[in-house]
A and B are shown apart, each in its own frame.
Chain A
Amino acid sequence: MSFEVFWQLPPNGDGRSADKATWTRGDHQAARRPQNPFARHGGDETYTYFDHLVQIVRAADLAGYDGVFIPQTDEGEEPLVTAGALARDARRIRFAPELPAHFLSAVYTAKIATSFQRLSGGRLILNLVTQDPAVNTWHGYDWSEDEQVARHDEFLTVFKGFWNDGPYTFEGQYYEVLNGGFAGPLKGQPQPEIWLSGTSEAALELNAKHADVHVVEASSPEAVAERIQVLDALAGRKLKYALRAEPTARYTEGEAKAAAVHARSPQAGDEALVGDYEQVARRLTQYLDAGVSTLVLGARPHLEEAYRTAQHVLPRLPGWGVAQLAQIAAE
């Protein structure tokens, strides 16, 4: 079984518990809690929260992950700029920053993405999200989910056409392009893989039309299997599926349950992902068996848990590490 594992970055601060008021990493919670005067990842002019994010990205790179997922958060850093800042600090892994495409020009996003591909050796994933309508209002728009999805549809049509089919002309409801397309060194970069998510009918239709990878939250392997069946049927082709999950894994189930009380996000989903290393690995394997091919995992504190997961959980997944060993043997 071949699968990939991504780790999640915390763009809005981090700590040892899920309670933001206790977070000591980053200055996003500074107003709520005085910073540790000894640590250097606050608002210091020399050290910023990005130095800590670099640590997590390097942990993912070194511990054998295939990529990092950077979510949208209200108070957190902008994911695409964050990815650009971090790309040079990791040599292998791919970057999946969540983008609210309905706020962005399709052409300009293609421009940014091409530059990212050039600087990173083709490691960008175009990971579009549909935002909470309240966030849209905050940005000065009043768009329903259906309208966001309709904009995404045109956005992706233009993005792909501009990238691959220049000179490219398009006239739609939201976007218009005349004789677009890259020239010179920007032309011919690998087009980023497209990741989409969503649960509404409109969102699933958008996924069916445009997604290379559909991102699904960890509810249960059965529910994910059903989603896969529905979406593949709707698309008339086989999509790839990425699972977002927050495992809480320890040596014993008791320790995991105790840790989950304070460390696990309230919206973390599948409770069966709290357990000893073997139990969590078995549960993740059930998702892989259901048809998931990318695990997007995250847990607090993100630096330490990246290592714990890579050293205790991932080696218990069938096939993990074997490919790397074979590669080392071949060198």
Chain B
Amino acid sequence: MVQFHWRLPTHGDRADVALPHDTRGDWRELQPGNVSPAVQAPSPYHEHLLEIARSAEIAGFDGALIPSFPHTDDPWVVAASIARHTKSLRFMLAFQPPWINPVYAAKAAATLQRLSNGRLLFNIITGGGGPGQLWWGDRIAHDDRYTRTTEFLDVFQGVWNGGPFSYDGKFYKVKDAGLPHPLAGQVRPELYFAGSSDAALKAQGKHADFNLTHMEPLEKLRAKFDRVRELASQDGRNVLPAIRLNVLARPTEEEAWAEVRRGWANADWDAIEAQRAGQRRGDAIGSPIPEHLRPTKDKDPRDLQIDGFFSGLGILGAQGSPLGIVGSYETAAERIDTLIGLGVGGLILAGTPHLEEAQRVGEEVLPLVRGRQPLRLAAE
């Protein structure tokens, strides 16, 4: 059964896609339009994140990704708080393994499982390298990072059900370790593993349940999914592809594209170019959008489509891949079914603003997705 997750915008949000900058949260200078929601005591932006989590839960999502960036609140803390105020929503904690010792991470994860009745998942990120990685104080060669991630997960899994577990790796050495009662033996958190290089795909075969990738043109996805399956099967395991993408769905095609055009007209194109220049640093592979599909001010948004997916969502404040869905509710559901047809087993959807769009996508789009099983049968 395909998992449907939403995303919690720990990086801030905006009231709608027509606005050229964020208006929710306190990452920008406060002014009357962004005093609310929830940046005044006693209701910090965190309260708004919780409200998004609840809307995702009530509208029918299985879980929600809690992203991690240098300027966001920490996902472990956000997850712990949200867990106590939701009922069934699973929370996917984005995490770079080296920041916490693996035995201690297992202990913290076990506590999260105990307090949430087993609703934790991980989005394991190995990191992009370059200045971005050094911000975190991490200087390590690209391929070594995946060795380290693998070792981290070896130890994490090794101690999860109790010990004694000993390990002698390049990065981690553990002797007679193991989670004690009653922490040991909790439901093991499923792992969404991010990474596209051969080193990444080899590393995930041993531990990952899902390979998580940002949306790309379908041809590239097919090739990547084949490699995911091939490399995972070397470890005798089955790793399912998973996709993150942004969705802008409206009752009609015209309404959806009208939103895009308004965002296009209001966008701060100079800031967008400056940000692009900054993103070209680092040694992660990726940037999968062909040059002719890169949005610029003078291009007609409707020309920026490949395989029925729109490549300009970054202009509208979307975080992650700029390639996503624009269209009617029916179109959005068809595109999601296309991805499910490629073998995708997990989807992390997002839309701006995240509260309102969680309601909309959950209520209007997901019921039209044919590859989805209902939570329960409709009332007889």
Contacts and interface: CB of A to CB of B under 8 A. Distances in A.
B279 interface: no
A327 B43 CA distance: 13
A64 B37 contact: yes
B13 to A, nearest CB: 10
A320 interface: yes
10 contacts: A36-B60, A37-B375, A38-B372, A55-B58, A58-B47, A92-B42, A303-B359, A307-B15, A311-B34, A321-B35
Interface stretch (B179-187, B341-349, B361-369): B361-369
Contacts of B253: none
Contacts of A331: 41
B353 interface: yes
B30 A55 contact: no
Q: Which of A34, A52, A54, A62 has the most CB of B within 10 A?
A: A62
A37 B18 contact: no
Nearest to B262: A251
Given A37-B378, A40-B375, A307-B356, A64 B36 contact: yes
Given A43-B379, A303-B359, 15 more contacts: A34-B379, A37-B375, A37-B377, A38-B59, A46-B87, A92-B43, A303-B355, A303-B356, A307-B353, A308-B15, A311-B15, A311-B33, A321-B32, A321-B36, A328-B41
B55 interface: yes
Contacts of B376: 37, 44
Given A62-B47, A303-B359, A315-B32, A328 B59 contact: no
B55 A303 contact: yes
A216 B236 CA distance: 71
A328 B367 contact: no
A51 B60 CA distance: 13
Contacts, number: 126
B259 to A, nearest CB: 10
B58 A62 contact: no
B23 interface: yes
Contacts of B362: 38-39
Interface string A19-39: 000001000001000111111
Contact of A54 (B35, B54, B366): B54
Contact of A61 (B43, B87, B262): B43
A321 B31 CA distance: 8
A310 B37 contact: yes
A320 B58 contact: no
What does DSSP make chain B's interface, helix, strand, loop or mixed?
A: loop
The 8 closest A-B pairs by CB, nearest first: A321-B32, A64-B36, A38-B60, A37-B374, A62-B37, A62-B38, A311-B15, A315-B32
A328 B378 contact: no
Interface string B40-74: 11110001101100110111100000000000000
Contacts of A46: 87-88
A324 B34 CA distance: 11
B39 interface: yes
Given A51-B54, A312-B15, A35 B36 contact: no
Interface string B324-348: 0000000000000000000000000
A58 to B, nearest CB: 5
A183 interface: no
A51 B375 contact: no
A62 B43 contact: yes
A301 B363 CA distance: 12
A91 interface: yes
A126 B125 CA distance: 54
A322 interface: yes
A304 interface: yes
Interface of A: 24, 30, 34-44, 46-47, 51-52, 54-55, 58-59, 61-64, 91-92, 251, 301, 303-304, 307-308, 310-312, 315, 320-322, 324-325, 327-328, 331
B221 to A, nearest CB: 25
A120 to B, nearest CB: 15
Contact of B60 (A30, A40, A311, A321): A40
Contact of A310 (B36, B41, B47, B359): B36
A30 B362 CA distance: 18
A304 B59 CA distance: 13
A34 B359 CA distance: 18
Contacts of B34: 311
A41 B358 CA distance: 14
A30 B60 CA distance: 18
Nearest to B369: A38
Interface string B206-240: 00000000000000000000000000000000000
B379 A304 contact: no
A46 B60 CA distance: 13
Nearest to B18: A251
Nearest to A25: B363
Q: Which of B15, B33, B58, B362 has the most CB of A within 10 A?
A: B58
Nearest to A58: B51
Contact of B31 (A41, A58, A325): A325
Contacts of B54: 51, 54-55, 58
B58 A52 contact: yes
B58 A321 contact: no
Contacts of B15: 307-308, 311-312
A121 to B, nearest CB: 12
Contacts of A39: 58-60, 362-363
Contacts of A43: 379
A33 B93 CA distance: 37
A2 B30 CA distance: 21
Nearest to B48: A62
B85 to A, nearest CB: 9
Contacts of B367: 36-38
A59 B372 CA distance: 30
A325 B379 contact: no
Nearest to B52: A55
Contact of A325 (B16, B32, B59, B363): B32
A47 B379 CA distance: 15
